[in-house]
Amino acid sequence: DVVAMLNRYYRIAEEVLSNHAAVKLNFTADEVMAPFDTARDAANAAIALRPAIDDLLSHSGLSAGIGLHTGPVIQGLIGSASVKSYNVIGDVVNTAKRIESATPGGAILVSADTRRELHTDFNFGQEQRIAAKGKEAGVAVYALIGPAAAGPGESQRG
């Protein structure tokens, strides 16, 4: 039953994230990691993924949070002589993981760096601070609420 649920979860994540320009997908245990070229692509993917996984997981009394962080990563083949995989690593990946781990089920939290990149195109909640391993002062995060509503006569951004 657990494997069947994970496979459904991964199928949904793969479909949604691939449709939103994910550079790569990485499935580990019950987590999905997907780097994107832009914070906007990542935010739009998270917003699209949220209801799809909520619907799947809620039937089993489960939930998942989504964490986003922005910055440079190291990418390439990583591993030993006989076992290698294409992956991304670095402080940005670690920080995104810390944010995801602190995100309540059903929510999307973004770092201050990601919020700056998305500026006025999206709506955010108030600043929160989360404890994060390796970050003495913690990490400032914001709930990603959704695309900013377009004003009269304007096209919607996001």
Residues in the chain where the model's pLDDT stays below 70 = 150-158
Per-residue H/E/C for the chain:
CHHHHHHHHHHHHHHHHHCCCECCCEEECCEEECCECCHHHHHHHHHHHHHHHHHHHHCCCCCCCEEECCCCCEEEEEECCCCEEEEEECHHHHHHHHHHHHCCCCCEEEEHHHHHHHHHHEEECCCEEEEECCEEEEEEEEEEEEECCCCCCCCCCC
**Which pTM was predicted?**
0.89
Would you state the pLDDT for residue 150? 57
Would you state the pLDDT for residue 12? 96
pLDDT per position as a tens digit, 39-60: 999 999 999 999 999 999 999 8
Would you state the pLDDT for residue 153? 45
